[in-house]
Structure 1
């Protein structure tokens, strides 16, 4: 790679780094915070922020803090419109939230992690939710157990880092136990977990499958562990049927 090409590549990496840090923070960041978080030279960050602000990818507030600009919203809207699954899933999620007033999400795998792609919270004062785009260890989730159903035990072991089997409360999920959970979820066509990543959380998940039958996403309810059993059963059945409807042939980018 020539020197100019190497310099341009570093510039792209730094732009990606700025976007990632803003997404992680989920709030405007000062220039000092961006420089410290990215580890890039001060002059480079100032120059890139100026360029990205000029084209509308970033916006700078009166106090000098930086956040995503309006243009980024347009690009995200374009993606959601083009991706048929995302578009249809959003309508299903809105309908489920309206019926049950429970936080509902669309979840997918991103590499060896799990992430929330869409989320609509309940209107109740107390609700349980996860932030969109934040990467979470797969063993912490019901969705992760569903989305690995096509993998062997060896493939699961190779995919998931060992440290990801330790929950945030310090409890370790044993690999053999996790593999059994994955197999059971695949056989049942749904997965429910209680108290994994949150002591009070009940998560219900149902798989959305592609044309070949592989699970590519999961539709999820996030609710409390004290949810009435009859209500649980009704929610789970509706969730499964909604996920099956979304599993009809769809268009991906």
Structure 2
């Protein structure tokens, strides 16, 4: 019989190298700071020699950069890829216009959020007026169960799929107030998606409210959300206005995409 070991080995090695590279990029993205090769080796569980070699290759290709103290960070080539990808996302382009318009009307922070596997990620943001600030910024990723947007982003999925996702990804939040029950989360996720609005207060950050609406694609799936983030103490006075405005903004994006209105 022919020996396939030698033939298969390069493929396994190449795949392993790709996986290690993605691990490094994911870890740097999640931690939002440059890291040493040693720390990356510990975080990935890879041999230090493998990580050192990968870093050198990625830095040489501008996928990563090296700071003055020798730490690795994301490189300019990744920005080019990200901008090219975002430019082709018609839903994002329309949502970005709606985000700035909504920001002017409600005078509160507005974010565009998408799903990244079991996480919700902020991909664009318009600051509100005044001094109110939150820890989440563009690039921030948190578990789906922490935010109103996170629940909406899987609200279109079948019941079993939503339960399975929350079972895998639901985590206690820093405030201790985020629900982690998969069955309950799945039920609320579907209800909020059908209602076109989701609200969470204090679950991700203390004294912070999130009022979000889903933006659906042609297939009915939630492609992204528009979310108004505001201080908890302003919710009572502004809730009705903000809820209507964020719903209207999401529908304006859907109209621009030619989606049948709900």
Q: Give the TM-score normalised by the residue count of structure 1.
A: 0.86
From 75, 83, 92, the counterpart of 1:77: 83
In structure 2, C-alpha distance between the alignment counterparts of 1:101 and 1:187, rounded to whole Å: 27
In structure 1, C-alpha distance between the alignment counterparts of 2:54 and 2:168, rounded to whole Å: 37
The answer to whether 1:202 aligns with 2:209 is yes
The answer to whether the 8 A contact 2:118-2:168 is kept is no
The answer to whether 1:30 aligns with 2:36 is yes
The answer to whether the 8 A contact 2:36-2:72 is kept is yes
In structure 2, C-alpha distance between the alignment counterparts of 1:53 and 1:165, rounded to whole Å: 34
RMSD (CA atoms) = 2.6
The equivalent of 1:216 in structure 2 is 223
In structure 2, C-alpha distance between the alignment counterparts of 1:124 and 1:29, rounded to whole Å: 34
Q: Any stretches of 5+ residues in structure 1 without a counterpart? A: none
The answer to whether the 8 A contact 1:210-1:248 is kept is no
The answer to whether 1:48 aligns with 2:90 is no
Using a 3 Å threshold, how does the CA distance of structure 1 residues 18 and 186 change in structure 2: closer, same or farther? closer
Q: Any stretches of 5+ residues in structure 2 without a counterpart? A: 1-6
The answer to whether the 8 A contact 1:141-1:197 is kept is yes
In structure 2, C-alpha distance between the alignment counterparts of 1:42 and 1:129, rounded to whole Å: 33
Q: Deviations over 1:14-33 (max 9, x none)?
A: 11111111111211112222
The answer to whether 1:20 aligns with 2:36 is no
The answer to whether the 8 A contact 2:109-2:228 is kept is yes
Deviation at 1:78, TM superposition (A): 0.9
In structure 2, C-alpha distance between the alignment counterparts of 1:59 and 1:174, rounded to whole Å: 41
In structure 2, C-alpha distance between the alignment counterparts of 1:239 and 1:65, rounded to whole Å: 41
The answer to whether 1:67 aligns with 2:73 is yes
In structure 1, C-alpha distance between the alignment counterparts of 2:102 and 2:119, rounded to whole Å: 26
In structure 2, C-alpha distance between the alignment counterparts of 1:47 and 1:176, rounded to whole Å: 45
Q: Deviations over 1:184-205 (max 9, x none)?
A: 4234321222222223111101
